Structure 1
């Protein structure tokens, strides 16, 4: 069904924007409300779930090599139950894509294209993503190679350019109220670390599997450091009001002004962010298309792609009513919703698989 191959390095580059692209702009505000001055520590606690999800993914992949998560479900739970759980997972992915696209649209409308109709903004992005997905996983991997390094470079450059406006006092004292605030913030962040379960859809197509685990863990580390850096930068600029600022990262970028040379860096930031969002929506669309095709036992996932993305144009407008409802959902139910489907279900599969293997071994001994 998928003929292309990617390297372990490309896999790690895909996962970087797959986790960060949409949440990077909202996470300082979401975490700042709970963790306050310890908000930069929260991603460190949350990263434990990321490493745990990577471990689960590789254990499942080693037991069922060549199978994706959807195919594993039928092998572990049986045809009927496996089909049912697989359907729930596909519905989750569809809704999750709708939320991602709506996040992208709300920021684009709010920051750049306030007079452009929402369907036009959504449709223009999804056309690019749909043709990328139809081209296969290998093209998504090459796209990540082109886009991710400039994204990382821009974030480092942003940090250096805004550093003269930092006020270190805004992060002190650390742990003034103990560990609880940073842990509360981590409970919000952990949901996005669970997205590393997408590895289960890419590992069968990695051409150097011996390097895959190393690069997956490097990707978790890179995501963690980026979240810490963004949270710390916004905290040192806005201080205690970070949790009340709309799009703190983009507001920080808009704050940059160096002499008469660097003015209004916001359009550059939006451009970099759009490229990351495109990769994220493309890889999730690929996973959903591939999963539907495997669930239906089709020979190819490509005929599904265009109808799927056409449906997402309408779904993204229906998932929430407005920006306020979206932010409330992201800060309350959504992180746990992500963890349930992307870490808890694979963990359950691993546990059931362990007992099935043990039961089979005991039968062989008899």
Structure 2
């Protein structure tokens, strides 16, 4: 699992889908509740956070190019404190992953498989992700290279087919209630962009490090473009009523009907969601497994994957009771929680490392 290399493009595709896997379906509804008609501006206001997180991850990687994030924590804060912080960070990532996996299962059960127990949907996806992670990063990267372009093309095609039904007038008036609603909604979108911190775990396996920096920033730009397209399309189709739909993109897809034979596009949306969440969950699961094996200094981390799969399944039911709990978490405390874990904490580590390197002249990372 710890072996294998990937290209910078494959890395960018994995990052791209890890953010968009759940944001496209959920974001329009949540941002409309917070920002009203200015919801389409939220990706523009938040894209800077994506660039910041990629820059921060690149800087942390420079401090420990041959080590790991856990090893850097030990070098900066000492062995005992470093290991404790590393374990807390892994638990944080596993907690976030449980919300991602439960979000996937809730969408499938609420919209398509009404009588299927949630545990069956969850267990089947986690089992597939366990198998892929055990095969290694190269297999996951090739899955991303195969599926992500298909997912992106189909998503943009759905938006394109809705163009005849769009009303640009629904965008106006801009800043009807001032700038604060747009800023409030952008904080939620920041929570998705900050998940780009996972690039730190992919950089050691990227063959071309110089290209990785360029593709990392390009992935942020591409994510912002797709988010903007989704918000504009849904707003011009549904207007203020977007906030009343749980999955407005799915609702919008049901509007599509061409020549009385091209219909039921929502089935395609389900396919895109399943493929996208497969990539997102697998990447996050890979990061958790690798991080824990590095913390425990295991030579072979394959043995951790299956037990972690069972732990994840249990946490999915422990952390999230239902969709209402999930939506409330994302739109309120969850965003702050994610920003602290993926932005403020790494920034604190980076600043502490710079101070220690300035004082002692170097940082020894195992």
In which range does the TM-score fall when normalised by the shorter chain?
over 0.9
Q: How does 1:8-27 map to 2 (within 5 A)?
A: 8-27=8-27
- Counterpart in the other structure of 1:75: 75
Q: 1:252 and 2:252 equivalent?
A: yes
- Counterpart in the other structure of 1:228: 228
Q: How does 1:113-192 map to 2 (within 5 A)?
A: 113-192=113-192
- Counterpart in the other structure of 1:330: 330
**Distance in 1 (alpha carbons) for counterparts of 2:49 and 2:194:** 7
1:271 positional shift:
0.5
- Counterpart in the other structure of 2:321: 321
TM value normalised by structure 2: 0.96
- Counterpart in the other structure of 1:241: 241
1:259 positional shift:
2.1
* Distance verdict in 2 for CA 1:243–1:356, change over 3 Å: same
**Distance in 1 (alpha carbons) for counterparts of 2:138 and 2:67:** 18
1:70 positional shift:
2.1
Q: How does 1:82-97 map to 2 (within 5 A)?
A: 82-97=82-97
**Distance in 1 (alpha carbons) for counterparts of 2:152 and 2:22:** 15
Tell me the alpha carbon deviations over residues 99-148 of structure 1, each in whole angstroms, 9 at most, x when there is no partner. Answer: 01110011000111111111111111111111100011111111100011
Tell me the alpha carbon deviations over residues 46-70 of structure 1, each in whole angstroms, 9 at most, x when there is no partner. Answer: 1111111111111111121122322
Tell me the alpha carbon deviations over residues 336-366 of structure 1, each in whole angstroms, 9 at most, x when there is no partner. Answer: 111111111111111011111111239xxxx
- Counterpart in the other structure of 1:309: 309
Q: 1:105 and 2:118 equivalent?
A: no
**Distance in 2 (alpha carbons) for counterparts of 1:2 and 1:322:** 35
Runs of 4 or more above 3 Å deviation: none
- Counterpart in the other structure of 1:210: 210
- Counterpart in the other structure of 2:49: 49
- Further displaced range: 174-183 or 302-311: 174-183
1:73 positional shift:
1.3
Q: How many pairs does the alignment contain? A: 362
Q: 1:39 and 2:44 equivalent?
A: no
**Distance in 1 (alpha carbons) for counterparts of 2:113 and 2:323:** 15
Tell me the alpha carbon deviations over residues 163-216 of structure 1, each in whole angstroms, 9 at most, x when there is no partner. Answer: 111011100122233322211110111011111110111111110001111100
SS of aligned partner of 2:207: coil
**Distance in 1 (alpha carbons) for counterparts of 2:307 and 2:212:** 33
**Distance in 2 (alpha carbons) for counterparts of 1:274 and 1:265:** 15
